[in-house]
Amino acid sequence: MAKKKKHSPQNQQPQGERVINQLFGSLEQEPDIESDIAELGSSPEAEQTEPVNQKKRRFFFGFAVFVIIMAFIGVISSVQFVANVTANLLDNTSLKNEFAAFIFPVVVNDIAPFEEADEIPDSSKISCAIWNILLNSDTSQFERDEGTGLSIPEYNVSASCRELFGSSVSLEHQTVGTAEVRFTYNEETHTYTANKNIRYLTYSPQIVSIAEDGDVYTVVVGYLPPTVAAVAGINGLQAQPEKYMEYTISRWDGKDTLMSVRFSDYQPEADDAA
């Protein structure tokens, strides 16, 4: 009687399972995960990651240096700006310039001291008012003759006078001035004839100091002689005032009014006079 052959477990596996095991390995065999990870880590993509990261680090480092440099420049500019503003505030440069322009027509006329506007002669008020128009106003609105003369209506002269000495001031219009500078009044046309290109100035103002008491300012003004002032403006020479006057100016609602002009006892220091 023939013996039956014993089949090994491999022989007992189905044909399909044997094919799968040959291709992918037996399911009972534990996968080598660490080897797989190591193989992945050594892939070409991982090798390319390190140079890319180095480029990024260099870019961000350079950008950070750029930001620091710009911030440093900004700090220096800010400090210079604050220093300039502080210096101007301490020196009252802006306010001095405003007052100098406002009183320029009065200084040019070298009017006598007064405590009330009514004490000022009409001739002085008219002359100051016309100088105020010539120095601080737009004269393109006025008619011109064939030369350099301007025809200024008396209404504008009255308005200019009120700007300087207050709204209550009154005028009797008339021809004023000297042989060097004359403003001729025409009673028929109610206009003044003035030369736009006047070059003769008796004095120009130099603001020495400003003291504030509410809306009232006390301003010490140095009177610079005309010829020396002109030379100083061109050649940079130092002009010295011939005298000092004290102006009282009221500032209300953005408008200035000259209240009084007095002699000043101000004496320049040795450094100022040098």
Tokens of 139: 């004269």
> How many C-beta neighbours within 10 Å does residue 251 have?
17
> In angstroms, what is the C-alpha Rg of the chain?
46
Query: Would you say 205 and 223 are in contact if contact means Cβ atoms under 8 Å apart?
Result: yes
Q: Tell me the pLDDT tens digit for each residue of 188-209.
A: 999 999 876 666 678 999 999 9
Q: Tell me the pLDDT tens digit for each residue of 220-233.
A: 999 998 765 454 44
Map 202-233 to HEC letters.
CCEEEEEEEEEECCEEEEEEEEECHHHHHHHH
- Res 163: pLDDT: 96
State the average pLDDT over residues 233-258.
83
State the average pLDDT over residues 19-44.
53
Provide the CATH number for the domain formed by 202-273 in this structure. Answer: 3.10.450
Backbone angles phi, psi at 254, to 5 degrees: 80, 5
- Res 213: pLDDT: 94
- Res 60: pLDDT: 67
Q: pLDDT grade, residue 49 (50/70/90)?
A: low
Angstrom distances, CA of residue 230 to CA of 94, 125, 237, 260, 269: 22, 25, 9, 28, 24
The full set of domain ranges for the chain reads: 111-195, 202-273
State the average pLDDT over residues 92-103.
92
Query: Would you say 185 and 175 are in contact if contact means Cβ atoms under 8 Å apart?
Result: yes
Name which of 51-65, 121-135, 240-254 the model is least confident about. Answer: 51-65
What's the chain's average pLDDT? 78
Q: Tell me the pLDDT tens digit for each residue of 100-149.
A: 999 999 999 999 999 999 999 999 999 999 999 999 998 888 888 766 68
State the average pLDDT over residues 59-78.
71
